[in-house]
């Protein structure tokens, strides 16, 4: 019995990223959600990965430090000024 | 304000910017060049782990993007081209550092002493000290440390997919691997990242 559970957990964990990315169909999603209701360990793994992805996306949404942006803007101005066609 | 790159579906936004810039729209050109430098900065720090290279890689991205726009053929391919270009610039930059240690360093840590313990590394003169504080505020030390625990190829997949918001296809194009391989590596990387975060 426990071996069946392990096989089921392994199958669930293999598809967990596809589940979190929304790549599974409704039937497959329901199977994972049903399994997680009965398996606290797998439920914890799903929640942990969800948090990890959220942390990364939050970090990716953070703008760069302002001093870095200022230097980037200055570089752009220098480049565009140097490439500006002569008006004479 | 948020990082405009880190959005699913940002590819078409980039393509439109490229078209407008190529058509002579100065504002679009400025925004495109700013994004190119932002990508270069984040990639240098998060994927390559070499903050001292960031400014040079930004400059490279700036110039190459400017030239790219003048001979644009496929605006839709711009984002993949940009990340590939930045990745190559990081590699070339490393090759020029003859005599430097081959291991990676990060903002606050990286020099490995004889006893194997990672210690602080002196980066003054490369990154401005004042920036250090804002960079620390920019990205949590916990996440940076967890990212460093990943193999470089996995770190790149996580950064491109989760933080930069590239599609699986775009990541495959930049990494030079199949989409199936991207998904496999992404899954493993997420699991490793989670474990690293729990250990921090």
Q: What is the pLDDT averaged over residues B24-41?
A: 94
Q: How far, in Å, CA of B39 to CA of B57, rounded?
A: 10
Residue A3 has pLDDT above 80, yes or no: no
Chain A CB contacts of B37 below 8 Å = 72, 75-76
What ipTM does this complex have?
A: 0.82
- Tell me which residue in B2, B30, B131 faces A63 most closely, judged by beta carbons: B2
Q: What is the pLDDT of residues B5-25, one digit of tens each?
A: 554 456 678 899 999 999 999
Residue A46 in tokens: 């799903």
Chain B CB contacts of A56 below 8 Å = 143, 158, 162-163, 193
CB contact under 8 A, A72 and B138: no
Q: How far, in Å, CA of B122 to CA of B131, rounded?
A: 14
Q: What is the pLDDT of residues B60-81, one digit of tens each?
A: 999 999 998 988 788 889 999 9
Q: What is the pLDDT of residues A22-62, one digit of tens each?
A: 999 999 999 999 999 999 999 999 999 999 999 999 888 88
pTM: 0.78
Q: How far, in Å, CA of A24 to CA of A31, rounded?
A: 10
Average pLDDT, chain A: 87
DSSP A21-85: TT-S-HHHHHHHHHHHHH-HHHHHHHHHHHHHHHHHHHHHTSPPPHHHHHHHHHHHHHHHHHHPP
Instruction: Tell me how many domains chain A contains.
Output: 1
Q: Report helix, strand or coil for B186.
A: helix
Using beta carbons and an 8 Å cutoff, which residues of A are at the interface with B?
16-18, 48-49, 51-53, 55-57, 59-69, 71-73, 75-76, 79-80, 83
CB contact under 8 A, B140 and A59: yes
Q: What is the pLDDT of residues B39-48, one digit of tens each?
A: 999 888 888 8
Whether A88 is covered by a domain: the verdict is no
Whether A25 is covered by a domain: the verdict is yes
Chain A CB contacts of B131 below 8 Å = 65, 67-68
Q: Best residue in A9, A22, A59, A63 to probe B by mutation, most B CBs within 10 Å? A: A59
Domains and CATH numbers, chain B: 1-96 (1.10.1740.10), 132-200 (1.10.10.10)
Q: What is the pLDDT of residues B107-134, one digit of tens each?
A: 333 333 334 333 333 333 445 555 555 5
Average pLDDT, chain B: 78
**Residues whose CB is less than 8 angstroms from the CB of residue A78 and which lie 6 or more positions away in sequence, other chains included:** none
**Residues whose CB is less than 8 angstroms from the CB of residue B145 and which lie 6 or more positions away in sequence, other chains included:** B109, B196, B200
- What local confidence, expressed as pLDDT, does residue B105 receive? 42
Chain B CB contacts of A83 below 8 Å = 66
Domain span at residue A23 reads: 2-83
Whether A23 is covered by a domain: the verdict is yes
- What local confidence, expressed as pLDDT, does residue B70 receive? 82
**Helices of type H across B72-175:** 78-96, 129-138, 141-148, 152-158, 168-175
Query: Which neighbouring-strand residues pair with B119?
Result: B111
Chain B CB contacts of A51 below 8 Å = 194
A65 vs B8: which has the higher pLDDT = A65
Note whether A43 and A36 are within 8 A (CB): yes
């Amino acid at each position: 019995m426990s071996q069946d559970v392990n096989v089921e957990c392994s199958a669930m964990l293999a598809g967990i990223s596809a589940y979190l990315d929304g790549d599974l169909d409704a039937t497959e999603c329901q199977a994972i959600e049903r399994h997680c209701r009965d398996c606290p360990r797998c439920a914890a793994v799903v929640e942990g990965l969800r948090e990890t992805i959220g942390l990364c996306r939050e970090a990716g949404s953070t703008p760069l430090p302002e001093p870095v942006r200022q230097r980037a803007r200055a570089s752009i101005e220098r480049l565009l000024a140097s490439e500006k066609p002569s008006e004479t | 304000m948020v990082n405009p790159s880190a959005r699913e579906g940002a590819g078409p936004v980039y393509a439109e910017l490229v078209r407008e810039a190529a058509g002579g729209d100065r504002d679009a050109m400025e925004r495109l060049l700013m994004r190119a430098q932002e990508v270069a900065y984040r990639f240098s720090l998060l994927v390559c782990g070499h903050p001292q290279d960031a400014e040079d890689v930004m400059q490279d991205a700036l110039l190459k993007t400017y030239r790219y726009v003048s001979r644009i053929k496929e605006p839709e391919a711009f984002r993949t081209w940009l990340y590939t270009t930045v990745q190559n610039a990081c590699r070339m930059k490393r090759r020029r550092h003859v005599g430097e240690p081959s291991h990676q360093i990060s903002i606050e840590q990286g020099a490995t002493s004889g006893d194997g313990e990672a210690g602080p590394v002196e980066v003054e003169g490369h990154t401005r000290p004042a920036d250090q504080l804002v960079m620390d505020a920019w990205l949590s030390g916990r996440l940076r440390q967890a990212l460093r625990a990943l193999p470089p190829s996995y770190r790149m997949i996580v950064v491109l997919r989760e933080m930069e918001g590239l599609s699986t296809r775009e990541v495959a194009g930049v990494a030079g691997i199949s989409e199936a391989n991207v998904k496999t590596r992404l899954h493993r990387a997420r699991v490793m990242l989670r474990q690293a975060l729990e250990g921090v």
